[in-house]
Amino acid sequence: MDVTINLWALIILGFGGSIGHCIGMCGGFVLSYSHALQNRQILGHTLYSLGRLSSYTLLGIIVGGLGQALTINIHIKGIFFVVLGIILLLIGVSLLGKSRFLLKVENFLKDILPVETFFQYAFSQKGMIGIFLLGLANGLLPCGLVYTALLTAAGSGSYIWGGIGMFAFGLSTLPVMLLLGFFSSKISSMRYRNTILKIIAILLIAFACLMIYKGSMFLLMDAGTSMMMKHH
């Protein structure tokens, strides 16, 4: 799949999702440390953001590498894209409120991943190191938006582009999250969040259909190649 499409999809997902999803899901973490920063707001928010970006980039490299390993031939590549597209489609439908698929995935991963322990450790650390670790832990938090971004990054089929894509995703969430930290009382009550989330869901469904189409084309090409080889 064209990495440019993946990159733009991640940027749109990050920026739009930060308004429609991150404020509600992650706003509490930002508010939890914002009041303690006093005159060190810029440094604190920067370190927290660097922690999130570090987690996103590392995860992007991992899933991009897995995507690269799973696209060693055209048949496997086709299956890979179709499966990713179906999962993204289910996530998009969940974001529209028509399914509980995403909630079930988040709850399942929340039970098996030791993220809560990491959060407790981060909260126990004092000063700016604790804030950086809190951002690092937040980047690992079971979150449908992040999972969607990771699946998109995996579709790049490259550990390099997977890392770049997730870094771009993280950067695109920064404007809203930084504003939330500085003007929490105003932004936390923003209107139109549900509308923005629905727009993101529709765009995600369209992207999922594109991914399924790409995978189907790979499978058809593989079938055509196999038939030609048999005739020869």
Q: How confident is the model at residue 167 (pLDDT cuts 50, 70, 90)?
A: very high
Task: Say what the pTM is.
Answer: 0.75
The per-residue pLDDT of the chain, averaged, comes to 78
User: Tens digit of pLDDT for each residue in 61-75?
Assistant: 999 999 888 877 788
For residue 84, is pLDDT > 90? no
Q: Please state, in angstroms and rounded to a whole number, the distance separating the CA atoms of residues 153 and 94.
A: 20
- Cβ–Cβ < 8 Å for 84, 193: no
* Position 57 confidence tier, pLDDT thresholds 50, 70, 90: very high
The predicted structure's pLDDT at residue 23 = 57
**Mean pLDDT to the nearest integer, 203-219:** 88
Residues 183 and 22 sit within 8 Å (Cβ to Cβ): no
What is the C-alpha to C-alpha distance for residues 57 and 164, in angstroms, rounded to an integer? 7
Is residue 193 within 8 Å of 86, Cβ to Cβ? no
- Say which residues have a Cβ less than 8 Å from residue 182's Cβ, sequence separation at least 6: 34, 41, 45
Residue pointed to by tokens 């991963």: 109
Specify the higher pLDDT residue, 99 or 26: 99
State yes or no: pLDDT of 136 exceeds 60: yes
